[in-house]
Structures are given as C-alpha cells and as structure tokens.
Structure 1
Amino acid sequence: MSSHHVVREKQEPALIIANGEACSVELLGQLLEWSPTVIVLDGALDRVLPLGIKIDVILGDFDGQDAESVRQSQYPVKVVHTPDQNFTDLEKAIIYLVEEEYPAANIIWATGRRADHTLANISILPKYAGSISLKIIDDYSCIFPILPLPHKFVKWYRKGTVISLMPLGITTGITTRNLRYPLTHESLHLGYRNGSSNEAAEDGEVLVEYEEGTLLIMECND
C-alpha cells in the first residue's frame, strides 16, 4: 500500500487504526494519502502488518506482543508503552495525540466486532472535543461530536444525505435548519428519542445547535 508521507506532519489529521472491524481497502487508502502520522493500536498489529502500511507509532500495553521485534521490522517506528488499565488503548492514543499537539485525528477500525468496544469508542469522542477534532470513520458512517462551545454545527450537504443526531444521555434545546425532519427547541434522549435517519432537505448548509448535553453527528450511507 502506498506511503502516506505526502503531507506535512500536523497539517492534516493523524490516522488511528483501532482493533474493530476492518474497513475497505479503498477507504484505508484514501485516508492514508492524507495522514502524515499513522498510529496502530497493538491489538491490531497482526492484521495491519501484512498490509504493508508504514506505521509511525505503535501504542498499547503489548500483552502478547514482542514490541522490540515490531520496532525492528518497522524501523524507525515509535513504540509507546501504555500499561495504564484506566483507559482503553484508543483513549490512550487520543491522549498521546493531544499531548503531541495534533489538531485532529481520523479513527478507523473502531466499530463492528464487539458491541461494547464500539459503544465505548464512540462515547469517548465528546470527552476530548475541546482538545482535538476526532472522527470515527467506517465504510458506512462518519461520526463526530459537535464542539462543546459553541453548541453549533454548520456544514454544506447534498439533498438526501443521511444525517443522524445521536445524543449521549439527554440533549436539550435542539434546533435544526435544512433537515427533512426539523427540530425546534426540542430534546433527544438516548434510547427513548433519537434523531436517527434524518436527512438534508435541500442542497445547502445544514445547521444543528443545542443548549445542554452532548450530541453526535453521524453522516451515514448504505
């Protein structure tokens, strides 16, 4: 697979490869072309190494992994040993990027497989929204939180683009513009009232804003 070193470090999002369901080769290649830094969680190494990807950072607790042999095969890869069990390996990778002052990261292989891992991976996105721009991307969706302040999101979409609004807990005072099913100072409550399978009503900017809580945007396709 082609090298990703075509842009300058920290000018484009880093790429974190987690340990969920693998995405398509096409999507992986597209993201690598614009990712100056590739971080692989140690649990995914056995699946990533055969792909021939140039890895910049390997991160994890390395249970059952020989970090030194990987270091030699991927030289000059940086091996970051993070044994702290209070955080998942994905969260450790996000913390690493924040400490290294990366402005943004795309995360792949973070959905599918174990449902508890998928839910945990998605739910930590808002925790770091004020420090780094994060997106979880797979073949069917792109998931990211609305920034904590201001609670406002605006983006241009084509008519019919599926946009789901997913609260983590209760999100209140939601108002939208240019969605097929509009909301006006309304609330969403995870498990009780979700905002799934909405869509852009017309070509143009979609606006979503809210007052309190946490809200994820999910751009979806079938």
Structure 2
Amino acid sequence: MRVALFVTCLADLMRPNVAFAALKLLKLAGCTVEVPETQTCCGQPAYNSGDRATALTLARKVIDEFEGYEYVVLPSGSCAGMIRAHYEELCKDDPALLARAKKLAACTYELTDFLVNVAKLESVPGDFAGSITYHDSCSGLRELGIKQQPRQLLGKMGQVEIKEMSEAETCCGFGGTFSLKFGDISTKLADNKCENACATGADAIVGGDLGCLLNIEGRLRRKGDRKTQVLHVAEVLAGKLD
C-alpha cells in the first residue's frame, strides 16, 4: 500500500516523535510511506475561526499535495476529520475541486482506524508497562467514530492495563481556537478532565490528538503534577524509536 503521511502542524512543531512513531507503525504494517515535503496545515484553525478564504486556500494546497496516493494517514482525529467531514462543504462552489476533495476524503484515515480496519495490524512493538487511561477527542470520536480502534491496538500490548476514566468522551477544553477565545471555560473543562483521569490512578493519559494532549499536560503541570505521563497513542504503540 502506498501511503502518504500527513504529519500535522502540532506534531511537526511540538512533538515530532508522534510522526516518527506513526511512520514506524505504518512501515510495520507493510506500507510504503511517503511524506510530502511541502505539507503544512489542513486549514482547520482558519475554518473553525470563520476564515473560509484561508481555509479554502489551504484545502486546495492539501489536495494538490496528497491526491494520487492510495491512502492518506494522519495521527490526528481532528485533522483527518477536517479533510473527511469538512472539505466537501468548503469546496462546494467549485465542482472540479469538489470532486477532487471527495476523492481525497475517501482515502483519508486517522492512524488507529487505518491500522485496525485497513492494514489490519496484528501486533505492535510498544514496550510500555503500566496502566493508562484513554481520552476520546471530540473530532475523532464524533466525526470519524474513533473509539474502539485505539483500545483494540493497546489491547495487543500484554503489559498495558486500560483504566477507563469517568466522562472519557467529554471535551478536554482545547477545541483549537476555543481555548484562546473562551479561556475560563476551557480551563474548567481541562480541570475536570485532569481530575477524572487522575482519579483512575493510571500511570499515563493517552489520546490520539496532540492538541488535546498538550492541553491536558499543560494543565496537569500547572497544577503541580509532574508524575502522570501524557502520551500520544502512536508513541505508546510504537515503543522505542531509532
């Protein structure tokens, strides 16, 4: 399978290990992986802020860069959801671009969804030993149905115990630009998420969207928690990187 890896802005700028972990997992699944070098943003921040002109410009750029691959895979439910759930509406006034957007959306997958339902990965190399609790990000869950896929993969790791937190499907407060525009509400949501996660006694909080994880980790550290790990699911599944 010829796969294009969409690294995402946050992974590129804040935690490149997530991209390298995704790359390792895709190669283990037997994929030929390419990383288009000119890729930047999927357009989601502009789209969510009402800047449709910028969002459309970025969508066109993404389509130009990623069309032609058998699959496009992203270690992010929100970015994959942008392409799958919103490009069609964004491109509706340009019939030719709309057709291309639909074709790209049809072959675009969030990482764990791809590994479970397309590549059918049978084992993972991760060596994490301990308990985790999983945060379901809003976009991945509600736009793409990402729920059991990461848990199924984590279940292949014999030394991992999953402790489900209360309100695992409730927003962590990030929401992209939401956390900037509504800081007080965002902080309260983040506090609730941290409290529910820590109440499980898990060694690590794990999720599939780096924005959520950075938000959760930032709040934990500000509250004095230096012990609880906050990890992207790809990092856990891939284990040590070269």
Q: TM-score by structure 2 length?
A: 0.30
Larger RCO (alpha carbons 8 Å, 6+ apart) = 2
